[in-house]
Structure 1
Amino acid sequence: MSGEVVSVGEAWRARAKAANDAADELDGLVEAVASTLRNNQLGLDCIEGEELFKQLSAIAVDWRLGMRTEVDYLKNIARRCIRASEAYGVADGA
Structure 2
Amino acid sequence: MAQIDLIVTLQAAKGREEALHQVLSALRAASLHEPGCLEYRVARAPQKAGRFFLLERWADAAALARHEHASHFLDGVRRVQACCKSVEQQAVEWMLE
- TM (normalized to structure 1)? 0.35
- Higher strand fraction: Structure 1 or Structure 2? 2
- Higher helix fraction: Structure 1 or Structure 2? 1
- TM (normalized to structure 2)? 0.34
